[in-house]
């Protein structure tokens, strides 16, 4: 299966020299759990979106942008998502990708009055999707970095992971089909730590130090990668 990665954001300039870009993080994550081909379309660098119909599957990265921003690529990406859903192209969204899938498919995303979500967050697994062959744990933990949140559930979406801070942390759209997470399973701990440290001036010392300390909690990043792989396998298009 070939995964078309839509790059919607760049690693912050302050740490860009020490880490690969987000599409590379996605490639590493998925290569640990399966054999895939990859294409990248960087809308944040001005590349045009392809027609979704011929694509095998789509993954949408994180971004510092909000779905409500005026970036010129946001509206076309929403149109692309709706067209892909109408043609049953499997889609996976992470962080901003999670948010723009929800917004494009009828939900609502806002800058949350709860403020920053950073560090390792733990979510309750509230539903175990039918495409999974492994048993679901009661909880999953993963790195996060976001201010925006989905606040209205899109039609046809079901919640699979939730917390008090993020009630719509994981969404599954059986009909679209799509799977999305607010967290970042593609981040390794070194990158998460560098990202939080680089944002200390915005987060403040207490929040930054708490985020860094929380990385001692074991993450479920590989488990979430397996869930994504299982979703892609279950919804593979028959041509």
Residues that are catalytic: 95, 184, 186
8 Å CB contact between 176 and 105: yes
Residue 132: HSE in the Cβ half-sphere, 13 Å Cα cutoff:
17
| Cα(180)–Cα(172) distance, integer angstroms | 7
Looking up tokens 């499997």 gives: 90
Residue 145: HSE in the Cβ half-sphere, 13 Å Cα cutoff:
29
Neighbouring CB atoms inside 10 A of 133's CB total 9
Helix (H) and strand (E) counts for the chain? 7, 11
Strands 57-60 and 2-7: parallel
């Amino acid at each position: 299966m070939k995964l078309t990665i839509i790059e919607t954001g760049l690693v912050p300039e302050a740490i860009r020299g020490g880490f690969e870009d987000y599409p590379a993080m996605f490639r590493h994550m998925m290569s640990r759990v399966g054999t895939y081909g990859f294409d990248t379309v960087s809308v944040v660098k001005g590349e045009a979106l392809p027609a979704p119909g011929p694509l095998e599957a789509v993954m949408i990265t994180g971004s510092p942008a909000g779905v409500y921003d005026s970036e010129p690529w946001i509206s076309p990406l929403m149109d692309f998502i709706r067209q892909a859903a109408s043609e049953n192209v499997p889609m996976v969204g992470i962080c901003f990708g999670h948010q723009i899938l929800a917004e494009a498919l009828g939900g609502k995303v806002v800058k949350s009055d709860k403020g920053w979500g950073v560090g390792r967050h733990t979510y309750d697994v509230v539903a175990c999707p039918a495409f999974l062959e492994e048993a679901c744990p009661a909880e999953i933990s993963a790195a996060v970095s976001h201010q925006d949140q989905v606040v209205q559930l899109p039609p046809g979406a079901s919640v699979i992971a939730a917390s008090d801070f993020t009630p719509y942390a994981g969404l599954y759209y059986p009909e679209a089909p799509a799977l999305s997470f607010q967290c970042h399973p593609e981040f390794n701990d070194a990158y998460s730590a560098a990202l939080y440290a680089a944002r200390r001036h915005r987060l403040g010392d207490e929040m930054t130090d708490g985020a860094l300390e929380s990385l001692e909690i074991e993450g479920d990043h590989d488990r979430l990668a397996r869930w994504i792989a299982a979703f892609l396998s279950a919804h593979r298009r028959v041509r």
